[in-house]
Amino acid sequence: MKRRCGWLPTEATAHIGLVWARRNVVLDTCPTSYVTAESQSLIEEFFIRRRLRALDGENLSARQVEAFVILEKELAKETDHGRQDFRHSP
């Protein structure tokens, strides 16, 4: 199957019900429509700056700071959830 909901026929998406789910987030539409070019750019920049340890707030715009704070919070949740899964695996 293709990624990015390419396998969903356009006319059927309104009747398909659940399309994407992750923990407490559920969508009845393809999630790629929620990812803008700016969002993708901020995500890439976040991981590059994080890798280079260059998350200095002084040289970032307010929009970048807000995005990076959200991404850091969500990454911490994912990491913590992964640790919980690991501890509960047989």
SS3 (DSSP) at 73? helix
* Angstrom distances, CA of residue 27 to CA of 6, 18, 47, 60, 79: 16, 6, 25, 32, 23
Q: What is the mean pLDDT of the chain?
A: 75
* Angstrom distances, CA of residue 36 to CA of 31, 33, 75: 11, 7, 19
Q: Are residues 20 and 43 in the same domain?
A: no
Q: Are residues 77 and 90 in the same domain?
A: yes
Instruction: Give the distance, in angstroms, between the CA of residue 7 and the centroid of all CA atoms in the same chain.
Output: 21
Domain holding 43, by residue range, is 35-90
Q: Are residues 53 and 70 in the same domain?
A: yes
pTM for the full predicted model: 0.60
Residue with tokens 């280079």: 52
Q: pLDDT class for 42, splitting at 50, 70, 90?
A: very high
